[in-house]
Amino acid sequence: MKIEDIFKKEFIIQELAAKTKRDVLLELSTAFLRGPYAFDGDRVVEVLLNREKLGSTGIGDGIAIPHGKLEGLTDLVLAFGRSSGGIDFQAMDGRPVHLFFLLMAPENSEGQYLKALAKISRMLKDASFRKRLMDAATAAEIYRIVTDKDRDD
């Protein structure tokens, strides 16, 4: 599983405007509209919030990996957003979340979906990787940091 196959520069939000969980999910999902995807952002948010009811995708250390499956989607897609101030995402450690990776998958994809989640999670265990993402000045730099890490893993 190569992250760069599902992650595009257009899907990066350098500084999220959102201040709530719902707004973060909506802002991240609308990033996909910059690509060839045409789906309802509110529907994506509904899917993601239903997933959040099972347990927060805020995994701690300032990270959240919201994810879900969407009818009509044909490929895995991955967006990234950063919040310098942090957002209350009901993370497992109770701390604000700064780094968000939003993964959406077709309804019938199981293997690739789980591989992508595992890969993103593994990459984010690296504290220096997280710091580089926080310090990056541009979307292009964020993209390079992620794809370089993807190749190294």
Catalytic residues: 67
Q: Distance (Å, rounded) from C-alpha 45 to C-alpha 69?
A: 11
For 28-39, letters b (16+ CB in 10 Å) and e give bbebbeeeebeb
Task: List, in sequence order, every residue forming a beta bridge with 13; answer none if it has no partner.
Answer: 81
Q: Distance (Å, rounded) from C-alpha 129 to C-alpha 124?
A: 7
User: β-strand 63-64 against 7-13: which pairing, if any?
Assistant: unpaired
Under DSSP, is residue 109 helix (H, G, I), strand (E, B) or coil? coil
Please state the φ and ψ torsions of residue 87, each to the nearest 5 degrees: -130, 140
Please state the φ and ψ torsions of residue 137, each to the nearest 5 degrees: -90, -20
